[in-house]
Amino acid sequence: MTYATPLNPAYTPFAEVARFRGVAFHVGANRHGYFLCLHLPDGPTLELGGDGVGGAAAQKPGGATGFTLRRALPDGQVNRIYDSTLLGPHHANGTNPAPLLAILDRFLPPPPPLPPSTPRTARQGLLRLT
C-alpha cells in the first residue's frame, strides 16, 4: 500500500518552477518533517525544507518560520546554500519565496524556449454555419 505525501502549500512555487523547467522532484520525509527533493539533470539533488516540527515552528500556525536549501552531490558531499529559519543567516527573508526562487534559478536548467510564433493569415474553417 502506498500513501500520498501532501505537499505543503508553501512549497507550491518551488514545485511549479521545477515542473516548468523539466526537473523531476519528489516529496520526502525525515525526522524533522517533509522536504522537497529536486533531481537536477547533472546529478546533484537540491533538498528544500523548513525548520521542522517543534521549537519555533510549533508556535507558528503555518508550521514553518523559514526555508532551508541543501545541495547533495553524488559523492555524498552536502552544501548548505540557504537558510531563512530563525537561526539561519537569511532569517530576515522568513517564508518569503522570492529570494529562494532567485537562488534556485542559478541551479535549475534554463526554461524551455518559447515555440516560434506563426502569423495568422485567416480564420478559415473555425466556424461553420449550417
Instruction: Pick the most confident of 4-13, 52-61, 90-99.
Output: 90-99
Q: How confident is the model at residue 115 (pLDDT cuts 50, 70, 90)?
A: confident
Q: Angle CA(106)–CA(79)–CA(59) in degrees, nearest 5?
A: 95
Handedness of CA 61, 30, 87, 104 (dihedral sign): negative
pLDDT digits (tens, 9 = 90+) for 28-46: 877 767 789 999 999 999 9
Half-sphere exposure of 5 (CA within 13 A, CB side): 14
